[in-house]
Amino acid sequence: VFTVDALVEGVHFDRRFTPPDAIGHRALAVNLSDLAAMGAAPRLALLSFALPSDLLLPDFDAMVAALSSLACRHRLHVAGGNLTRSPGPLMIDVTLVGTVKPRQALTRSGARAGDEIYVTGSIGGAAAGLQMLRADTGTSQPPQVRLKADTTVSRYLYPEPRVRVGLLLARNRAASACVDLSDGLADGAWRLAEASSVGITIDAGSLPVDAEARECFEGAGKDPILEAITGGDDYELLFAVRPRLRGRLNAVIRAGGVPVTRIGVCSDNGSVVLRRGGDARSAGAPILTPMPHGYTHFR
Amino acid sequence: VFTVDALVEGVHFDRRFTPPDAIGHRALAVNLSDLAAMGAAPRLALLSFALPSDLLLPDFDAMVAALSSLACRHRLHVAGGNLTRSPGPLMIDVTLVGTVKPRQALTRSGARAGDEIYVTGSIGGAAAGLQMLRADTGTSQPPQVRLKADTTVSRYLYPEPRVRVGLLLARNRAASACVDLSDGLADGAWRLAEASSVGITIDAGSLPVDAEARECFEGAGKDPILEAITGGDDYELLFAVRPRLRGRLNAVIRAGGVPVTRIGVCSDNGSVVLRRGGDARSAGAPILTPMPHGYTHFR
């Protein structure tokens, strides 16, 4: 499995509130998450840096150290790369090589109507953290220490790719389709649905919205569910499981060490919707609304 | 064999005089040249583009078409990649995967004292072409048609990586060390000498300086030899051959379809020098001068 992804200053991160070690960590984490979504074991990395002249050497060192540390934890060998000047933004391109047995590789296209939809960990944390960092930029100084201790902020700055769960899903052949949530759960649901030619109904009440993020969104007068599913940078895995293979999933959950939540089901009507209400807690019939679309890279 | 290299606008090319198809061609050619220097056969490519908002769609299409056309000629499969916005320069990162038998792979470190130094094709053409393009920018309009017909200009805009010669050198085990001339022959000689822990003496009179480039440099009142060996972007191969294996080299030359010129020899004194005069044509003893260093990426 080969994957390449770029982190571009001013598009994917803001150097005013993203410390160098977080830049390095994230550049690798987003790529590891792509391997995780295919159930592949990380093997080799190639790095390509375009460095602006105002980047200080200690900051470059911190960036590379954080990247190397994450690589080391995943037994990933950084084989080489390229350094060049940039007359504009800092850019980091990471290419990863991973391995997976052909018949075990996870794709986005294997889901069928009736499959259940699951998500790892929690969602919305990174988006809430990014909002906090943005709100704090240019105000009271120095915010770094306080903010870095915040859980949602560190969810944004130092995401943990779900490499182990991806590997287990592939080896146990538990998932029929899988995608990682780089651009939010809503976007991931659309991609999985489109690739598999199925509809997906997500039950809002089941979504594992990060508790701190929920507070943060509610405090800002926003709908926590909408914020959590459209906010990017979660790097959780969204996957489909055939109901009769739930036993395999349970084995993955026992070995994976990460919470997994059932949040919806695949349908044969082709529409991707969010379902609210209609459960024991709320009176009346459920309300189905079209799933919002995620981040648009080009307009 | 894995390789990654970046082309950054404002560092590696200037969009004012580099047409989109040349940008696409060069982005792949510089990477193919890296595979050629290791004697590897091209297999897979991953592309990563960071696109500024003022790049027009037809220009993007022309860029990709030229890249695809070069890939096709080398039977290279473009497997995928990434697209992102750039708030600054246009950047193209290309990762290539190639294959070579482990014992046949060419490296920079195998040269020994007594090995002879060869170079493919001719040098200086791309540097002369770049000078012409630069001199022409902002003057009479439209220069593109006239300039693109010029041999040195097209050497700069559309370099032909020496993939076939690299493959043949590896398969015939003809070369003890090899490097490609992305930053000029002087730089390549230094890199080969340092990696192999040998000295190198290059004979100025033997250098295959492009005839048109020589005229162009002399017309500008510059030393054609110095310009040709310090000018980059030639993408020729510089390699070392043991004298007793010259027969293998001859087989490569017969099958390669590219001129190969003997230009020097490896020594055991550790110094990299340019030798002028001392031959039949010039009177007096030869003059040895230290080889200049090439392009400095960071100061």
Mean pLDDT, rounded, for A90-108:
97
pLDDT at B93: 97
Give the C-alpha separation, A131 to A116, whole Å.
32
Per the CB < 8 A criterion, the answer to whether B50 and B8 are in contact is no
Mean pLDDT, rounded, for A201-217:
95
For B91-143, write each residue's pLDDT tens digit: 999 999 999 999 999 999 999 999 999 999 999 999 999 988 888 776 554 45
Give the C-alpha separation, B170 to B25, whole Å.
25
Q: Enumerate residues 6+ apart whose C-beta is below 8 A from B263.
A: B117, B118, B119, B202, B203, B206, B207, B208
Q: Enumerate residues 6+ apart whose C-beta is below 8 A from A256.
A: A120, A164, A165, A168
State how far residue B60 is from chain A, nearest Cα, in angstroms. Answer: 14
pLDDT at B149: 62
The four Cα atoms B33, B76, B174, B119 give a dihedral, to 10 degrees, of -30
For B206-237, write each residue's pLDDT tens digit: 999 999 999 999 999 999 999 999 998 999 99
Residue A153 has pLDDT above 60, yes or no: yes
Task: For an interface test with B, give the residue of A51, A55, A84, A97 to mutate (most B CBs within 10 A).
Answer: A84
Interface contact A297-B85, CB threshold 8 A: yes
Query: Interface pTM (ipTM) of the complex?
Result: 0.86
pLDDT at A244: 97
| Partner A contacted by B50 (CB < 8 A) | yes
| Partner A contacted by B284 (CB < 8 A) | no
More reliable by pLDDT, A298 or A95: A95
Residues in chain B within 8 Å Cβ distance of A54: none
pLDDT at B298: 60
| Partner A contacted by B175 (CB < 8 A) | no
| Partner A contacted by B255 (CB < 8 A) | no
Residue A187 has pLDDT above 80, yes or no: yes
Residue B16 tokens, joined: 């004012």
Interface contact A84-B48, CB threshold 8 A: no
According to DSSP H, which parts of A82-174 are helical? 125-136, 144-149, 151-157, 163-171
| Partner A contacted by B295 (CB < 8 A) | no
Q: What is the pLDDT along chain B (299 residues), one digit of tens a residue?
A: 999 999 999 999 999 999 999 999 999 999 999 999 999 999 999 999 999 999 999 999 999 999 999 999 999 999 999 999 999 999 999 999 999 999 999 999 999 999 999 999 999 999 999 988 888 776 554 455 555 568 899 999 999 999 999 999 999 999 999 999 999 999 999 999 999 999 999 999 999 999 999 999 999 999 999 999 999 899 999 999 999 999 999 999 999 999 999 999 999 988 999 999 876 666 678 899 999 986 665 65
pTM of the model: 0.89
Name the burial class of residue A65, with classes exposed (0-12), middle (13-18) and buried (19+) by CB atoms within 10 angstroms of its CB: middle
A-contacting residues in B 63-82 (Cβ below 8 Å): 79-82
